[in-house]
Amino acid sequence: MFKKNQTLGEFIIENQMSFKYSSGELSTLFNSIRLAAKVVNHEVNKAGLVDIIGNVGEVNIQGENQQKLDVYANEKFIQTLINRNIVCGIASEEEDDFIAINSLDENHQNKYIVLIDPLDGSSNIDVNVSVGTIFSIYRRVTPVGTPVTLEDFLQKGNQQVAAGYVVYGTSTMLVYTTGDGVNGFTLNPAIGSFYLSHPNMQFPESGSIYSVNEGNYIHFPQGIKNYIKYCQREEEDRPYTSRYIGSLVSDFHRNMIKGGIYLYPKSSLNSNGKLRLLYECNPMAFIAEQANGKASDGFTRILDIQPTELHQRVPFICGSKNMVTKAEEFMREAQ
């Protein structure tokens, strides 16, 4: 039963029994993420007033120019998670390798690892467009009390115990799932608390929005080109509307509310796709499926892909079920 004006903390505690690993640890872990999100939100809202926008002059493991807010958000989330002493390992899109926490402490009993994209769409900061944070939570698979290993992070997406994102926009929202539906909480900046504003979020079965960087059209596989033409064709329920922000969190969030599909396929420029399986695709796919949506690489369910490396990239098609299924049909036909 959803309660109006319920805070995120109250909601987590009240619904803890629906989480199969209920122990109180998840509540503490979400409190850490909530706190870091509020700190990052404060900095995002000051962008332009202080020296927090622009490049830092460094390139991250992804080969991308790091923005100042990338570095800031990364430090804040890692620092907050470590300080709460609730996770045994962290992997970030901005870090070369995973971070083992208290790995030499024999009494270290923490069971959770977190994978995070600290600031998705950060290149949009300079022009005041919405950005976000994406996070994914797993239970470790190696013995508790031992140092975490790469095996703990290379789990299939269907093993996630929780995932979510924060969108820093006209209002700041935290959306998450623990495998029992998707709920959204909006930050009241005057009080500093997240309140339940979007209970039981669901993708419409079909939509009228397609989100893809059409500037790369010439580089896309034929199946995606054919699907885009299908979206543009004048029929009873088409053409669809093209909407592309360039921030996965923002595009996904809009499509979940209004109905739509997001496509970031492989291309002649990025033969394996560009989005990261562990930091972006798996958490968003988990949320999508819990919200009656679907996520695929064009042929395979995202959550069934076995990761082989920490920064693995995959093609990503996600959104309303019927739309993703139709895109997969075009991919198979072209193949």
Write out the binding residues for substrate: 120-123, 213, 244, 262-264, 274
* Per-residue confidence (pLDDT) for residue 30, from 0 to 100: 86
Cβ–Cβ under 8 Å, residues 114 and 135: yes
Residue 175 and residue 287 in one domain: no
| pLDDT, tens only, 171-193 | 899 999 999 999 999 999 888 89
The CA distance from 38 to 66, in Å, is 21
- Write the DSSP string, 258-270: H-EEEEE---SS-
**Domain housing 233:** 209-334
Write out the binding residues: 93, 117, 119-123, 213, 244, 262-264, 274, 280
List Cβ<8 Å contacts ≥24 apart for 180-189. Answer: 180/15, 180/18, 180/19, 180/290, 181/290, 181/291, 182/256, 182/287, 182/290, 182/291, 183/2, 183/11, 185/7, 185/8, 185/11, 187/38, 187/41, 189/41
Residue 136 and residue 27 in one domain: yes
Residue 223 and residue 146 in one domain: no
Residue 263 and residue 135 in one domain: no
| Structural domain includes residue 85 | yes
Write out the binding residues for Mg(2+): 93, 117, 119-120, 280
For residue 161, what is the domain's CATH number?
3.30.540.10
| pLDDT beneath 70: ranges in the chain | 1-2, 4, 17-24, 46-67, 103-108, 124-126, 128
Read off φ and ψ for residue 330, nearest 5 degrees.
-65, -35
Residue 170 and residue 229 in one domain: no
Residue 269 and residue 157 in one domain: no
Residue 111 and residue 154 in one domain: yes
| pLDDT, tens only, 18-65 | 666 656 677 788 888 999 999 888 877 765 444 444 454 455 555 555
Residue 214 and residue 191 in one domain: no
Cβ–Cβ under 8 Å, residues 248 and 286: no
